[in-house]
Structure 1
Amino acid sequence: MANAASGMAVHDDCKLKFLELKAKRTHRFIIYKIEEKLKQVMVEKLGEPTLTYEDFIGNLPTNECRYAIYDFDFVTEDNCQKSKIFFIAWSPDTSRVRSKMIYASSKDRFKRELDGIQVELQATDPTEMGIDVIKGRVY
């Protein structure tokens, strides 16, 4: 089922891996890539549950757009262990204009496929999704 605006389909694995992250917590993060030739959003990388936020940031390409899901664990002021699922639209200033347009036009439909996202971030450089930004969005 392709998106009318961008023509991008969503590979079944995208939803499957997201459900694993959400329900079973088998992944810390998922990085998704649009394969332009296939006109499809695919899973590019899965992060082990033991990886850190720095590991996640290090797995994002510096000059290419991606969608990403990050499962952020934190402790509340009441000392409760919680987590929030972040959707991050990574669109660095240095990426190709065509790529930025494709990712921007496909984002909403792709996000709708992933039921359970709690926080959304749009980032064009690493400072816009630094750990301080993430922490600021959970409280």
Structure 2
Amino acid sequence: MLRMFSLQANAASGMAVHDDCKLKFLELKAKRTYRFIVFKIEEKQKQVVVEKLGEPSQSYDDFTASLPADECRYAVYDFDFVTAENCQKSRIFFIAWSPDTSRVRSKMIYASSKDRFKRELDGIQVELQATDPTEMGLDVIRSRAN
């Protein structure tokens, strides 16, 4: 009985990562092809897939508007900013979006798969966990970028 449980526990967090996730992330990181990427866990296929790609011209508001209000998602955002020394810089943020209104099962799946998924994306500089839009407001992003 105990053995059966441990197999199920492993299966629950054993989300595959679609190759497209890594490919699009590399394009964002190396070529700056996208401003952001929203990732979704397809529970039936047990894998993380790309749900939405943001064009380089899109704003942070466009990004936050693309996150569902009551469903979990992972996202990557390429944030451009100017330092106090007037240097143009960018930071790649990984955002684990888990709104309070999302299903408990969904929150658990996203939480248990997060670290493994994040390891697949080499080059993330800042991680944010948000359950509410205010926890990932532009002011929070700016303060964490420096």
Quick check: TM above 0.5? Answer: yes
Per the alignment, residue 136 of structure 1 pairs with 143
Q: What is the alpha-carbon distance in structure 1 between the residues aligned to residue 102 and residue 140 of structure 2?
A: 22
Q: What is the alpha-carbon distance in structure 1 between the residues aligned to residue 80 and residue 14 of structure 2?
A: 35
Structure with greater proportional helix content: 2
Larger radius of gyration: 2
The TM-score, its normalising length taken from structure 2, stands at 0.92
Q: What is the alpha-carbon distance in structure 2 between the residues aligned to residue 137 and residue 116 of structure 1?
A: 16
- Give the total of aligned pairs: 137
The TM-score, its normalising length taken from structure 1, stands at 0.97
The 5 Å alignment of 1:1-139 reads 4=10, 6-139=13-146
Query: What SS is found at the alignment partner of 1:67?
Result: strand
How far residue 138 of structure 1 moved from its aligned partner, in angstroms, is 1.1
Deviations 1:36-84 (A, max 9, x none): 0000000000000000000000000000000000000000111110000
**Which residues of structure 2 form unaligned runs of 5+?**
1-8
Q: What is the alpha-carbon distance in structure 2 between the residues aligned to residue 82 and residue 53 of structure 1?
A: 16
Q: What is the alpha-carbon distance in structure 1 between the residues aligned to residue 94 and residue 15 of structure 2?
A: 18
Identity of aligned residues (%): 82
**Which residues of structure 1 form unaligned runs of 5+?**
none
Q: What is the alpha-carbon distance in structure 2 between the residues aligned to residue 135 and residue 22 of structure 1?
A: 19
